[in-house]
Amino acid sequence: MPYFGVHESIANGFDAAVYKTSDLGFDCVQIFSGNSNRWANKPIAPEDAFKFKEALDETRQFDPLIHDSYLINLASPDEELLEKSVARFAEELERASVLGVPRVVTHPGAGKEDPKEVAIARVARALDRIFESLPEVSTRVLLETTAGQGSYLGGTFEELGAIIAACDHKDRLGVCFDTCHAFVAGYDFRTRETYDATFEALDAAIGLDRLEAFHLNDTAKKLGSHSDRHEHIGRGEIGLDAFAMLINDARFADKPMYLETPKKETEEGESWDSVNLRTLKSLLNQ
């Protein structure tokens, strides 16, 4: 059976995010390591890292995941932005190491007017520089599937596969499959036939062995729209059948699956995270 997680705020502390997700019934948590919209963050205090690890132990949670800052663009042709992005992403890996988080997930970035192959090579070089600058840090990097809007990389499995292939340290790389992003990028997995075709395509371009995590999000936008609008599970264009196939797929039985659905409460005052988790669990063994 897969295990379910959710993205949670660290506003009240790293440990508070763990306790909140545990109270809601989740097995794991995804967090930002700092303010996702700032270039600079204060160092993680040793006592905060200790409390985070202690909270994971107490709640028996595992596979915490960090999502990197939204400011980072490792594909940028702007030299200043690229250098800031390299430094910030290296910091993300260091912060993950301090917290004992094994993986950081990132969007590959946007190459602006550059051809995709140029942007892909730039991302690979940036990742190699980062890995080589941190020989003592073993944190893995998960490249996330994206909606493929504009010049953003990651809208096709082939683009992610090309980044991995071009990277000298490809042993440090995996993939996170975001259901909303993949769907609006053009991958239809709502029927058994299209579901099988989607993961056959991923296997051919990347390899299923590199698929290490999932973001579970329905979408408010149409197939192939390239518009990233997350929706609650079963209440968008993807629908319940696709999620039932995914969470019951034996190939992914040991993979963490994190919700990134809208956070507001229901009209009855219940957390939507709880509602979405209940929906997912109701689909198990179908």
- pLDDT number for residue 200: 98
Instruction: Report residue 53's pLDDT band, with 50, 70 and 90 as the boundaries.
Output: very high
State yes or no: pLDDT of 228 exceeds 90. yes
State yes or no: pLDDT of 1 exceeds 80. no
pLDDT in tens, 121-160: 999 999 999 999 999 999 999 999 999 999 999 999 999 9
User: Which DSSP string corresponds to 154-170?
Assistant: -SSHHHHHHHHHH-TTG
- pLDDT number for residue 230: 98
Give the number of other Cβ atoms within 10 Å of residue 29's Cβ.
30
Structural domains of the chain, with CATH: 3-283 (3.20.20.150)
- pLDDT number for residue 282: 97
Separation of alpha carbons 64 and 10, rounded Å? 13
- pLDDT number for residue 192: 98
- pLDDT number for residue 68: 97
- Cα 256-45-136 angle, rounded to 5 deg: 65
User: How much is the average pLDDT of 26-49?
Assistant: 96
- pLDDT number for residue 219: 98
User: Which DSSP string corresponds to 124-141?
Assistant: HHHHHHHHHH-TT---EE
Separation of alpha carbons 243 and 233, rounded Å? 8
- Shortest CA distance to 182 belongs to which of 228, 231, 130? 228
Instruction: Output the furthest CA–CA distance in the chain (Å, rounded).
Output: 52
Instruction: Report residue 268's pLDDT band, with 50, 70 and 90 as the boundaries.
Output: confident
User: How much is the average pLDDT of 263-267?
Assistant: 85
- pLDDT number for residue 2: 81
Number of H helices, E strands in the chain: 9, 10
- pLDDT number for residue 286: 78
Q: Which residues neighbour 7 within 8 Å (Cβ) at sequence distance 6 or greater?
A: 29, 30, 31, 67, 258, 259, 260
Share of the chain above pLDDT 90, in %: 96
Q: Can you name the residues that pair with 258 across neighbouring β-strands?
A: 5, 215
- pLDDT number for residue 131: 98
Separation of alpha carbons 22 and 1, rounded Å? 18
User: How much is the average pLDDT of 2-10?
Assistant: 95
pLDDT in tens, 162-218: 999 999 999 999 999 999 999 999 999 999 999 999 999 999 999 999 999 999 999
Separation of alpha carbons 159 and 179, rounded Å? 17
User: How much is the average pLDDT of 218-222?
Assistant: 98
User: How much is the average pLDDT of 100-109?
Assistant: 98
User: How much is the average pLDDT of 229-257?
Assistant: 97
Share of the chain above pLDDT 70, in %: 100
